[in-house]
Structure 1
Amino acid sequence: MGQKLALACACALVLSACAVPRPAATVDPDAPPKWYAPLPHNGTLTDLNRWWQQFNDPLLVELIEAAQTASPTVATARSRIVQARAARAAAQATLLPSVDGNATAVRAKQPPTPIATTVTTGAQAAWEIDLFGGNRAATDAARERLQGAEAGWHDARVSVAAETANSYLALRTCERQLLVATRDAQSRAETARLTQLSANAGFTPPATAALARASAAEGAARATQQRAQCDIEVKALVALSALPEPRLRERLGASWKEPAEFALLTVASIPAELLAQRPDVYQAEREVAAASADVGSARAQQLPRLSLTGSIALGKAHAGGDTFDVETWSIGPLALTLPIFDAGRRAANVDSAQARYEEAAALYKARVRQAVREVEEALVNLESARARAEDARIAVEGYSASFVATEARYRSGLGSLIELEDQRRAMLAAETALVALQRERVASWIALYRAVGGGWTRAQQEEARTP
């Protein structure tokens, strides 16, 4: 009988290596064979991991680190890693036997025997033998989701870094716009003062003086509005970084210059190589693999299930003044469960798992297409900003020179205030456009940083999992 039981156990172990088929866990990305967008610096770029240091701005680095520490998005991603790790541990536990300890004490009298006291301690073991790989597939799914959660944490950190950098950039741009608006307001105020003196002396019509005062008031209102916008940007940075506002304003007192050069990741000619840099794409790929494993697990539930139980107990019994040792053990039963009728529940579970797999595959393909779009949009915007930079600078220089000449003619009495204000508006628009273009250029680099994964690589993911 013992030989038969051993043979049955051996057969069960062999059968447990079997597995039901499941869908392929990989999906070919819908990526074009090359980037259909101009490559900055002809694609000759360097390292992205230290990209924020290119700004030579310690405050920006400090703000990003503070924002990542305070961000609820990063905290949520960290919590999901812990949950996924626990789910993987629970799934792995199904592959091994479970053992429970027990202890009992019984005192009883059954005539004609005397009063007896029995105390036993023991252990019970149960093992569901993974005949067709259902539990193994569930473990695989949990492992893939853990890897996806780890990549999701990196994606959250990259997103927060980009958001913080954009907010900081918006503030610095606002400060530049405020300088432009302040200079404009001062110029208008000086023109209004001189015009009023001329009007008081009778050399200038009152209507012209009124127009100059209106222009000065308009410039002052614009500067006030711009100052309020800068205060709002500071509030946004405080909320993102959780830094005290007085400390942040003190640190913001230093002047800021747009970095002249940017060093980024090498822009490959094959999108698949670059898309591997995105943790969200990797996370979507892992979800496809997990959904594929779920299909295998659901299909295994339609097949026979084999379980083995056993127990061992040691104890003592005391009756009629005598004490006896009690030892019991058992192996079995070796139970085979055959699904016969469940009203379609298991088949429905397979259909549901298959549908989730197809959904995950579709979402993965969509994520790849979105990644391609984001990279190419960033490249287009970056090249556009670069191409317009020289024209915007020439426009500012030209309108500024024209305004200076027009102002000189106006003060000498050879020009009109209306002509002067027209030139002033043209110069203000050109200066504002140049500052906005400088912001657009840096914002495009930040968008490209975000689009190519912020320096994260699959190699880092593998290293993080290596004990």
Structure 2
Amino acid sequence: MIASAGLRPIPETVSSSSRTTRFALTLAAVLTLSGCMTVGPDYQQPQTAVPAKWSATDEVEAPDATVLAEWWRQYRDPVLDGLVADALAANLDLATARAQLREARARRTLAGAALGPSLTASGSASRSRTSSESSSGTTSDLFSTDFDASWEPDIFGGLKRGAEAAEGDLGASAESLRDTRVSLVAEVVLNYVELRTGERRLAVAAASVAARGETFDLTRWRRQAGLVSDLDAAQARTELESARANLPALRTAVTEAQNRLAVLLGRSPGELVSRLSEADIPQTVVSMAVGIPADTLRQRPDVRAAERRLAAQTARLGEAEAARYPSFSLSGSLGLSALSLDALGSTGSVTRSLLAGISAPIFDSGSIEANIEIQDALLEQARLAYQAAVLMALEDVENALVSVANAGERHTQLIQATASAREALQIAEHRYASGLTDFLNVLDSQRTLLSLEDQLASSTGELASAQIQLYKAVGGGWSPTDSAQDTRTAS
């Protein structure tokens, strides 16, 4: 139950000056109290234990901010640069995040407006006519205007806490927009790498089909000449058809990557086929500085967003606690009426009123305390979510560092193995042509080379993907300048 009370009407014997003085004193007292008793916890930046350096590397040099903001340019691929630019301009998820930021900004304005007074004005005009049997009647006009003002003094800080919560939500929305940008850039580049990797693997498979086709033709001619058995020809045919069977799956992977890129750019699947002519898998020779864990936590938008949500929820707990206390209101009105428009404010009548009110909870069946408990539980969840975001960020970087190192090592070994397999095939073919070995050695050498060339193509893509994941893990892909542009776009 909520109890409310207002100032009773002031007797007519009290002069207008006395009434004004009394109300002014009341207003001054309310203004003095307003904001002096803000209830609820004040937000404090969370303190989290962070390692001094990464366990997967001894590198402590901080990354260059300019390079980190546009890390994909390290690949020096104009097609990739264009794809990223188009995605940032037209991606639907990013557009949604901008709209959410616009909503959060409006909600912040709405919450802040509750702290100030409101003023409304209204007016009316009427004409009436009276008639009688003895005369033609009379016509009278009435004009009136009213001004109403109201204000809710924030004695216990509930409205202030609401504004703080809205400010925290706005910050979280801005960081979520940045996080969407980081994820989008990484996804575009990853899919571009998958496309180029698929193209490379398809080219390797097609070359294998051509080579095995030549081997089959040669074996068939040698069988017709009686130099080899039917078994050699059948084995050559088996290897040829096996190589051909790999092509459809690889073509599917290439098409899927093309379609995914189109959707990321806000376009229909298939629209980018003519734009994506075959090219090499992007690789960068520039080593990346990752700094220390604290640098990553400052850079990662998801961690920053979690911190802002924690700040917002801290304020909401205070807003809920303020509901325990009385709320106050001040309102006043001024009305003018006259028989003519020119007489308003001069010879017309004037009505005015001043009102101070108070409303306090007496009995509510525990709903206020239940809401406080809810907000406190949500605060604990926000605190845990922040801690989880910190740990996830640290894990992402550690895993990415290990992936880059291992992918690089595997790539180097596959380069050497492929070169050796190519040499072994040449030797086997020469010995077979000279009659020094059987055909199975040639087939085994071809099979080994095909497998290693396919693994090398995949390894090249995996190394690039590991580098991309590392850039994403440290929060690369945004800068304050980009964020300001996104903010203007969301306005």
The reply to whether TM is greater than 0.5 is yes
Structure 1 vs Structure 2: percent identity of aligned residues? 33
Query: Which residue of 27, 40, 44 maps to 1:21?
Result: 40
Alignment correspondent of 1:188? 212
Greater shift after overlay, 97-106 or 348-357?
97-106
Alignment correspondent of 2:170? 146
Query: Which residue of 220, 223, 227 maps to 1:199?
Result: 223
Alignment correspondent of 2:143? 119
Task: Show the 5 A alignment for 1:392-407.
Answer: 392-407=414-429
Q: Please report how far the alpha carbon of residue 389 of structure 1 lies from its aligned counterpart in structure 2 after TM superposition.
A: 2.8
Alignment correspondent of 1:374? 396
> Does structure 1 retain, via aligned residues, the 8 Å contact 2:70–2:476?
no
Task: Show the 5 A alignment for 1:52-451.
Answer: 52-105=72-125, 117-242=141-266, 248-253=272-277, 255-256=279-280, 258-262=282-286, 264=288, 266-269=289-292, 271-317=293-339, 325-330=348-353, 332-451=354-473
Cα distance in structure 1, aligned partners of 2:222 and 2:48: 73
Post-superposition CA distance 1:199-220 (Å, at most 9, x none): 1111211121111111111112
Cα distance in structure 2, aligned partners of 1:301 and 1:344: 12
TM-score by structure 2 length?
0.86
AA aligned opposite 2:50: A
- Cα 1:249/1:463, change in 2 over 3 Å: closer
Alignment correspondent of 2:476? 454
Cα distance in structure 1, aligned partners of 2:452 and 2:212: 17
3-state DSSP of counterpart to 1:100: strand
AA aligned opposite 1:193: D
AA aligned opposite 1:276: R
Q: Please report how far the alpha carbon of residue 305 of structure 1 lies from its aligned counterpart in structure 2 after TM superposition.
A: 1.1
Q: Please report how far the alpha carbon of residue 251 of structure 1 lies from its aligned counterpart in structure 2 after TM superposition.
A: 3.2
- RMSD over aligned CA atoms reads 2.7
> Does structure 1 retain, via aligned residues, the 8 Å contact 2:303–2:390?
yes
Query: Which residue of 33, 38, 52 maps to 1:33?
Result: 52
Alignment correspondent of 2:28? 10
Give the count of matched residue pairs: 456
Cα distance in structure 2, aligned partners of 1:31 and 1:180: 46
Q: Please report how far the alpha carbon of residue 193 of structure 1 lies from its aligned counterpart in structure 2 after TM superposition.
A: 0.6
Cα distance in structure 2, aligned partners of 1:463 and 1:341: 51
Cα distance in structure 2, aligned partners of 1:368 and 1:448: 16
3-state DSSP of counterpart to 1:338: strand
Cα distance in structure 1, aligned partners of 2:48 and 2:280: 41
Q: Please report how far the alpha carbon of residue 273 of structure 1 lies from its aligned counterpart in structure 2 after TM superposition.
A: 2.2
3-state DSSP of counterpart to 2:50: coil
Post-superposition CA distance 1:426-456 (Å, at most 9, x none): 2222222222221111111111111111243
Give structure 2 stretches of 5+ with no counterpart: 1-17, 131-137, 341-345
- Cα 1:458/1:257, change in 2 over 3 Å: closer
AA aligned opposite 2:303: V
AA aligned opposite 2:453: E
3-state DSSP of counterpart to 2:355: strand
Cα distance in structure 2, aligned partners of 1:81 and 1:240: 20
Greater shift after overlay, 7-16 or 363-372?
7-16
> Does structure 1 retain, via aligned residues, the 8 Å contact 2:169–2:309?
yes
3-state DSSP of counterpart to 1:251: coil
Q: Please report how far the alpha carbon of residue 294 of structure 1 lies from its aligned counterpart in structure 2 after TM superposition.
A: 0.6
Q: Please report how far the alpha carbon of residue 396 of structure 1 lies from its aligned counterpart in structure 2 after TM superposition.
A: 0.9
AA aligned opposite 1:349: N
Q: Please report how far the alpha carbon of residue 221 of structure 1 lies from its aligned counterpart in structure 2 after TM superposition.
A: 2.0
3-state DSSP of counterpart to 1:314: strand
3-state DSSP of counterpart to 1:249: coil
Cα distance in structure 2, aligned partners of 1:123 and 1:398: 92
AA aligned opposite 1:86: A
Q: Please report how far the alpha carbon of residue 245 of structure 1 lies from its aligned counterpart in structure 2 after TM superposition.
A: 7.2
> Does structure 2 retain, via aligned residues, the 8 Å contact 1:27–1:365?
no
Cα distance in structure 2, aligned partners of 1:339 and 1:120: 38
Cα distance in structure 2, aligned partners of 1:397 and 1:370: 40
Q: Please report how far the alpha carbon of residue 87 of structure 1 lies from its aligned counterpart in structure 2 after TM superposition.
A: 0.6
Cα distance in structure 1, aligned partners of 2:159 and 2:306: 23
3-state DSSP of counterpart to 1:252: coil
- Cα 1:460/1:358, change in 2 over 3 Å: farther
Cα distance in structure 1, aligned partners of 2:335 and 2:127: 18
Cα distance in structure 2, aligned partners of 1:249 and 1:281: 37
Cα distance in structure 1, aligned partners of 2:298 and 2:328: 42
Post-superposition CA distance 1:237-273 (Å, at most 9, x none): 2222245777733332253253341364x4222x122
AA aligned opposite 1:17: G
3-state DSSP of counterpart to 2:155: coil
Post-superposition CA distance 1:78-121 (Å, at most 9, x none): 111111011111101101111121223466799xxx98643211
> Does structure 1 retain, via aligned residues, the 8 Å contact 2:335–2:350?
yes
3-state DSSP of counterpart to 2:358: strand
> Does structure 1 retain, via aligned residues, the 8 Å contact 2:199–2:254?
yes
